[in-house]
Amino acid sequence: MVQLYNLHPFGSQQVVPCKLEPERFCGGGRDALFVAAGCKVEAFSVAGQELCQPRCTFSTLGRVLHLAYSEAGDYLVAIEEKNKATFLRAYVNWRSKRTENSRVCIRMVGHNVEAPFSKTFRDQMSIVEMPLSEAPLCISCCPVKGDLLVGCTNKLVLFSLKYQIINEELSVLDFERSLIIHVDNIIPVEISFCVGYVAVMSDLEVLILKLESNPKNGERVKHHLHKANTPMKQTEGISNETSQLEPDDFVICQKPMELLGEKSQHSGVSVTLESTGIADENLKYFHIQHLLYRRFTPDISSYVLTDDVKLHSLQLLPIYHSGSLTSDGKSLSQEKELLSLFCFFSLPHVGYLYMVVKSVELMSVYQYPEKSQQAVLTPQFLHVITSNNLQCYTVRCSAATAREEDPYMDTTLKACPPVSMDVCALRIQLFIGLKAICHFKNHIILLTKADPEAIPERRESPKRLLSRKDASAKVRTPPVAEAGWNLYIVNTISPMQLYKEMVDYSNTYRTVKTQSCIHLLSEAHLLVRAALMDASQLEPAEKAELLEAFKESCGHLGDCYSRLDTQHSHLTLPYYKMSGLSIAEVLARVDWTVEDGSQKYERGLIFYINHSLYENLDEELSEELAAKVVQMFHAAEPKQLPHILCSPSMKNTNPLTAMSYLKKLDTSGFSSILVTLTKAAMALKMGDLDMYRDEMKSHSEMKLVCGFILEPRLLIQQWKGQTVPTELTFHLKETQPGLLVAAVLGLQKNDKIGIEEADSFFKVLCGKDEDLIPQLLIDFWEAQLVACLPDVVLQELFFKLTSQYIWRLSKRQHPDTTPLRTSEDLINACSHYGLIYPWVHVLISSDSLADKNYTEDLSKLQSLICGPSFDIASIIPFLEPLSEDTIAGLSVHVLCRTRLKEYEQCIDTLLERCPEALIPYASHELKEENRALWWKKLLPELCQKIKCGGEKYQLYLSSLKETLSIIAVELELRDFLNVLPEDGTAAFFLPYLLYCSRKKSLT
């Protein structure tokens, strides 16, 4: 369906001062317009709104049949006819032609230009002759690379654009015939070529191909590189009997067909590549990818087969980025990046627009009210001419490109009007006798000619009219004077001017609340989006104005979707986001007037406010606006009210008003825990501690933790990138720190808060800088170990805890708050905290420590080292602050060395520092493969210590007796004798020797 708006896309109009009646014309580049008449081509310079001035005139070999201009290379190419022969010629360096009689250089394609002629080539126009074995029928220039594609009967010839380097100062434009594409069963009427994409059109068929340059399986370029398929039988579906009949008696029409993608290989059209060039291998094409084949059937319902039921206006339209802009508006890169490619072709009454990059799909179908003669597609519009009308239709190219370019399109972040949206006709402008149209930049070139009426010579019989040989009625033109003609340049108005007109026009639908308002504003949005697609063509001021209009259009669309109760009301959110409007600015656009005593809030607005308040936008609403939001959600979405009140943007909400609404929710079946916690937060805000305590006591601690998981912002809020604890959090820190730690642990377990974020939160809560770790954070780390969270890196958590235990032990630093768990609690609740070895208790008992907190930190550290999961090697470098001069430091060092199996060093240390712990140590550690250390290490060392005497003689003596008792049990008599010292007293060792000798008989 095509909607019609009476807008004004066409601005000023001027007449091209041609001397002869134009037969062919084309435009392009910055300002070039070429008009061919007879054997001459007139070049005009088109600048501004009112200036069209002749630039130069040059002669052609014959009458021009086709004309095309390439911006890449700045050359004009023409198919010319002379004496019933056709020629293909390219006009290069035409800007240097000053007068019609200026000298012209004519050379053959591929002809090497010698250096002595360099000055001549620089200062005069060159004509490049391109001979072909068959007559050229149509031509197309690649808008990106400037390569030339020529259509001949059953084949296409590709000429690659290249430059002959004459010297350092001069290079001459030239062509190389690099590829022939053999296309059987299609005689091209029009072709279009763009960066390897080829579109071929006959009277009723369209074929789109992609030439691929990457070789597969090491193929080399040879003649007939790739044959696409085998042609289908022409007589498919037709009996042999029918095929024998005379063509004058029947018209054979094949079925209409549309084949997309790989299926188009089965169209019956055979495609073969033949390489002819000797240029760089990287530029050659090796393979063909079929994209689209479409065949139409002529309408014979009126028993008249007319010649004008044919396809026309084939066009490939690229949309690309050509580099970002610098501050002075200059492009950083001249290389164009192709974003999307579109193909348009048309029947007399219907036009078809396809997207052909990545996926091939029909985007839009254009139904014309009158029979069309020609059409041109631009990124913004489709311009169609009939005999008396210039029509302007909207296109969906920018919408399709936006989706190809941005993966976040159609999410809560970004939106774009759909490709499937109905197209509309912006304007149908009267022009009498329209014959041809072309387009470049913001100029539409129109040829008009007031033809006298064509009078049919006689009415033919239906049977004769169906004959293929006489497919159209003969006409007789009465002998009248030559008809008048004109060549017009119609300037399209700027996108900004048309955008403003569309917005003004949309206001007529605003009060009615219809889809027409959304449709027209969507058209305005796409118009601005299309203008922004190629930033290199915009001045900085123009781009800034378009960007501002883009945001404004997003705001208008947000308004529409927020006020209309449609299935797409969720689009309110991305459009308002793209508009850059704040929540307060959006609320200021809301009509708060009450109709019939009841206020109705549409889904789109509720959806936007709800999501925006969830996203912590660092925007603080005033008390008045916050009250309106609370009222809105109480009326429309009461279930979301507790979540809304927890948003940092709503901190100015009146707690009395909020409490009155929350109390009405108690009996509504909503989450009572969440409502309770929200009421408790409001009670704290009001300073009513009794009400706060009553609310908090109404549920168990576990249920309260579940409530915090439902709404983390009751505890933690983000404001301007910073973690901010709430008033409720500060109160829990003082009164229920265990509940607070459990709640944050629950948030982490449910992925509501990250590890680093949780650490930062506790530091901010306790007012500590980055270097000081509060006890509450250590409590949280210990709780993480107890909970065994799967996403926690154990060794990292061990490092955090042990480094803090060591730091506080070395500094004799007291915890800033009472720890929530003792070492005994942790050992009983967590497998990572191991039972402390018995000899450690003996070691510690040798030093009386009055400080309980000190002993707790020491016990937790010792328990972690004794645990099964701890990596001892990782902590050794951090033990330096903990001196071995203290018993606490000694116990930790000996524990770590023991875990590293450095038993001999530990025995030496205990012999010197704490002999009373030696035997408990050896009994616990010297087992199995370490058993030999009893007689190899411990016995000799004790004997040596006893010889020296001293204060600890009795301790060493008792340790020696214990050692001998163990050795007597472990060794045989002979081995026992061998390990005894030679200078010992026999009477001392005799009891142990007797036990060892009797051991076997006793067993």
DSSP states of 3-48 as a string?
EE-----EEEEEE---SS--SEEEEETTTEEEEEETTEEEEEEEET
* Residue 873 DSSP label: G
Q: How many residues are given for the chain? A: 1003
Position 123 pLDDT exceeds 80: no
CA distances to 17, 34, 59, 131 from 63, rounded to whole Å, are: 20, 14, 10, 17
Instruction: Give residue 466's pLDDT.
Output: 33
Per residue in 876-896, pLDDT (tens digit) is 888 888 888 888 889 999 999
Distance CA 179, CA 149 (A): 9
Average pLDDT of the chain to the nearest whole number: 84
- Angle, helices 603-614 vs 572-579, to 10°: value is 60
Instruction: Give residue 972's pLDDT.
Output: 85
Q: Where does the pLDDT of residue 117 fall: very low under 50, low under 70, confident under 90, or very high at 90 and above?
A: low
- DSSP β-bridge partners for residue 173: 163
Contacts made by residues 324-333, CB under 8 angstroms, sequence distance 24+: 324/535, 325/535, 325/536, 325/538, 325/540, 325/543, 327/540, 328/540, 329/538, 329/539, 329/540, 329/543, 331/535, 331/536
Rounded-to-10 torsion of CA 754, 757, 761, 762: 70
Q: What is the pTM of this model?
A: 0.81
Distance CA 468, CA 305 (A): 8
Distance CA 394, CA 521 (A): 13
Mean pLDDT calculated for residue range 638-667: 90
**Strand order in 138-141's β-sheet?**
138-141, 148-152, 155-167, 170-183, 271-275
Q: Where does the pLDDT of residue 250 fall: very low under 50, low under 70, confident under 90, or very high at 90 and above?
A: low
Position 763 pLDDT exceeds 70: yes
Instruction: Give residue 118's pLDDT.
Output: 58
Position 47 pLDDT exceeds 70: yes
Q: What are phi and psi of 961, to 5 degrees?
A: -60, -40
Instruction: Give residue 277's pLDDT.
Output: 66
132-136, 197-201, 668-672: the lowest-pLDDT one: 668-672
Instruction: Give residue 793's pLDDT.
Output: 82
Instruction: Give residue 164's pLDDT.
Output: 82
Q: Where does the pLDDT of residue 470 fall: very low under 50, low under 70, confident under 90, or very high at 90 and above?
A: very low
Q: What are phi and psi of 548, to 5 degrees?
A: -65, -40
Higher-pLDDT residue of 671 and 94 is 94
Per residue in 573-631, pLDDT (tens digit) is 999 999 999 999 999 988 777 665 566 788 899 999 999 998 877 899 999 999 999 99
Please give the share of the chain, as a percent, with pLDDT higher than 90.
Answer: 49
Q: Where does the pLDDT of residue 477 fall: very low under 50, low under 70, confident under 90, or very high at 90 and above?
A: very low
Distance CA 574, CA 554 (A): 9
Contact predicate 599/559, CB 8 Å: no
Per residue in 155-192, pLDDT (tens digit) is 999 999 988 877 777 788 889 998 999 998 889 999 99
Higher-pLDDT residue of 992 and 632 is 632
Instruction: Give residue 871's pLDDT.
Output: 86
Instruction: Give residue 237's pLDDT.
Output: 38
Among candidates 731, 728, 702, which has minimal Cα distance to 715?
728
DSSP letters of 640-674? Answer: GHHHHHTSGGGTTS-HHHHHHHHHTTTTTTS-HHH
* Residue 66 DSSP label: E
Distance CA 963, CA 988 (A): 13
Higher-pLDDT residue of 170 and 475 is 170
Position 563 pLDDT exceeds 80: yes
Mean pLDDT calculated for residue range 312-340: 65
- DSSP β-bridge partners for residue 361: 355
Q: What are phi and psi of 349, to 5 degrees?
A: -115, -5
Q: Where does the pLDDT of residue 824 fall: very low under 50, low under 70, confident under 90, or very high at 90 and above?
A: very high
Q: Where does the pLDDT of residue 991 fall: very low under 50, low under 70, confident under 90, or very high at 90 and above?
A: confident
Per residue in 771-793, pLDDT (tens digit) is 789 999 999 999 999 988 776 78
Per residue in 895-914, pLDDT (tens digit) is 999 999 999 999 999 988 88
Per residue in 353-398, pLDDT (tens digit) is 999 988 899 999 999 999 999 999 999 999 999 989 999 999 999 9
Instruction: Give residue 326's pLDDT.
Output: 36
Contact predicate 498/427, CB 8 Å: no
Instruction: Give residue 393's pLDDT.
Output: 95
What number of other Cβ atoms are within 10 A of residue 270's Cβ?
A: 17
Mean pLDDT calculated for residue range 10-22: 90
CA distances to 573, 644, 717 from 615, rounded to whole Å, are: 12, 11, 10
Per residue in 196-249, pLDDT (tens digit) is 999 999 999 999 999 987 654 444 333 333 444 434 433 333 334 333 444 455
Position 111 pLDDT exceeds 90: no
